[in-house]
Amino acid sequence: MEILKPKLVERPWGGSRLASWCGGDTDTTGETEKRGAIGEAWVHEGNEPPRVLLKWIDAREILSVQNHPSDPGYSKNEAWYFLEAPREGRIVTGIKGGIDDEAVPERLLWTDVKKGDFLFVPAGCVHALTPGSFVLEIQQPLNVTYRIYDWGRGRPLQIEEAARAFRAGPPSLRRCPLEPGRHILTDRREFRVECVNGPVVLSWRRPYLAAVVKGPKEGVTLLCESDEEMEVRKGERVILVTDGEDE
């Protein structure tokens, strides 16, 4: 069992929690004018390219309205577990009509979320985290984002690419169960995610990532080998992540 050291990435919308919360090395190539505005902490199992990527995300400001590629073989599905809900209790999860540069804020669709919620965001879906969101993101490791609206930050937009990738299917929201045991949140070809509430002894038939989201080791991400056991104690919660490939 190995504790993984995250890579800290600066973002213009980032906050101040991640540097002290989970440690790591700062990526000085991030997009920010404010030193120390850490928006993301990246973790994966060490393969290049990784099979699945985890990001701890601290959103001090609203993120760009965006989507990701959705073609077969070139797509980015992702999911969010909310350690803290946004201050206004809602996030962007769609847009009315097609994608263009006309009156974007007025056409946005919203979903209410709470602490402990899990949201699967399919490739092509328009989305944006909002201020105060503190999440664990599980995603396919494709680092391609199409910005549709960026709230005056002046970064480039990719309207045409976003329109081609657009899929209107809504995200799926789940409330994480409180009962002890293992609870499947999503089981897809891209990745499998479980919510594990202690007390339970955790293991999996393939290598897996265990992100501690509640308990004394909150913020730690562990890489566990095939069939390696991990004890999740009473009052602790772990998000188990593995690739969704069949054996």
Helices marked H in the chain: 18-21, 159-165
Q: Which amino acid is at 98?
A: G
Active site residue 35: no
The dihedral over CA atoms of 104, 58, 119, 214, expressed in degrees to the nearest 10, equals -160
The one-letter amino acid code at 14 reads G
Among 11, 60, 147, 192, the active-site one is 147
Return the structure tokens found at 101. 């540069």
For β-strands 208-214 and 117-121, DSSP reports them as unpaired
Give the C-alpha separation, 126 to 95, whole Å.
Answer: 7
- Structure-token match 């201050």, residue found: 87
**Active-site residues: which are they?**
147
